[in-house]
């Protein structure tokens, strides 16, 4: 879909490269500009003591299908090289902090002067304005903790939990892609590019938007309750005889309360004075959850699967990733793709980008590039001669 769109990505870690990775899957030419030492995510396995494992799947996910260029942008010559690449680009994507970009002359105003059609996408922790615009912000800090989302996900009276790798980053990646594509559509009409700004904190606040809307409207918000304190006791996780957990998500009203009573073989609970209406079920939540726990512990998941489906209840098993990757429905949804190995020896499985375009080539276009793999070819295409390239190599401006 994006064939003919050229993206210059000057970014490390996950959020911005994730956006570039989606664009690459969808057909854009994405040129990844890395420091000479490489993006730190290249070395994830080694950094966690697993250097016996080949490669970095985390890096590969966000960088497959890109061209890799290594440039030292701390030098004037390196900055000039990036500016040359930007001259005919459609998109510049970066997560470098705003102050550093301004000092080096790679901020939006500087690059728009070179290429007025440029869509300039900035991904930061805390946005481009305000006292903390240059504060570094990984997703656990800016997306999870600072946005209020981590607080909302902490059960009252328990300790906070951390966020798994890249969840906030990839949420921000998807938002960034949407912003870039909107700006490209606008450019078709106006002929001019624009600044596109996404941030981890804003993405986190939007991800928690339903609760934030209540907080903003009413100035208060209920805490996250334990299983036995649930506002809707049947909106909960339950454990089966086989030790597996599943979640029930009841619809508004009492239709699913009636169904659950029938499913567990206790229809009399529906009219029990303690549980006959939502207020009573909430007031007696602990007692009701104990009853449901005892009932669901009598049979294994397959038994409850049949019963829950029979009554059209919204539910899902709580699945381990090792089972998710073999889930026939996830596979049917196109959630996994084959990515070529860098050495051409075959392919490996990886998560797909988040949207499918049936009938289109919307998957990986190649492996993640080796550090500096395409530096010379890309700079030659930008007009650098062999003598210039040799000089830049000798000065350690390119790698």
Active-site residue list:
169
The Cα diameter of the chain in Å comes to 88
Distance separating alpha carbons of residues 257 and 259, to the nearest angstrom: 5
Q: What residues pair up with 336 in beta bridges, in sequence order?
A: 351
Query: What tokens appear for 313 in the block?
Result: 């209840």
| Token pair of 232 as six digits | 């809707």
CB 392, CB 383: distance < 8 Å: no
């Amino acid at each position: 879909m994006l064939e003919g769109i050229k993206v210059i990505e000057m970014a490390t870690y996950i959020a911005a490269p994730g956006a570039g990775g989606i664009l690459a899957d969808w057909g854009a030419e994405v040129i990844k500009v890395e420091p000479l030492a490489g993006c730190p995510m290249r070395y994830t396995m080694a950094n966690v003591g697993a250097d016996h494992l080949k490669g970095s799947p985390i890096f590969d996910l966000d960088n497959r299908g890109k061209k890799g260029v290594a440039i030292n942008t701390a030098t004037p010559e390196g900055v000039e090289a990036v500016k040359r690449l930007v001259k005919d680009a459609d998109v510049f994507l970066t997560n470098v902090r705003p102050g550093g970009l301004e000092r080096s002359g790679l901020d939006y105003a500087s690059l728009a002067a070179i290429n007025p059609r440029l869509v300039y996408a900035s991904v930061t922790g805390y946005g481009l304005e305000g006292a903390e615009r240059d504060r570094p912000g990984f997703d656990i800090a800016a997306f999870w903790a600072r946005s209020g989302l981590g607080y909302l996900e902490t059960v009252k009276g328990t300790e906070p939990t951390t966020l798994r790798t890249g969840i906030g980053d990839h949420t921000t990646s998807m938002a960034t892609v949407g912003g870039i594509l909107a700006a490209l559509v606008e450019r078709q009409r106006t002929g001019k590019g624009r600044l596109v700004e996404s941030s981890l904190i804003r993405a986190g606040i939007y991800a928690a938007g339903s609760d934030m809307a209540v907080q903003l409207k009413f100035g208060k918000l209920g805490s996250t309750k334990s299983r036995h304190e649930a506002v809707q006791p049947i909106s909960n996780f339950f454990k089966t005889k086989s030790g597996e957990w599943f979640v029930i998500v009841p619809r508004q009203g009492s239709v699913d309360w009636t169904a659950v009573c029938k499913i567990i073989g206790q229809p009399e609970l529906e009219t029990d004075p303690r549980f006959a209406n939502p207020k009573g079920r909430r007031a007696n939540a602990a007692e009701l959850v104990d009853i449901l726990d005892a009932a669901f512990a009598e049979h294994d998941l397959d038994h409850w699967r049949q019963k829950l489906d029979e009554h059209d209840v919204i539910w899902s098993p709580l699945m381990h990733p090792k089972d998710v990757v073999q889930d026939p429905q996830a596979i049917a949804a196109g959630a996994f793709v084959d990515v070529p190995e860098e050495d051409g020896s075959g392919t490996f499985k990886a998560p797909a980008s988040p949207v499918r375009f049936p009938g289109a080539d919307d998957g990986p276009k190649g492996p993640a590039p080796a550090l500096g793999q395409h530096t010379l070819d890309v700079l030659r295409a930008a007009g650098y001669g062999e003598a210039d390239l040799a000089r830049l190599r000798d000065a350690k401006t390119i790698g």
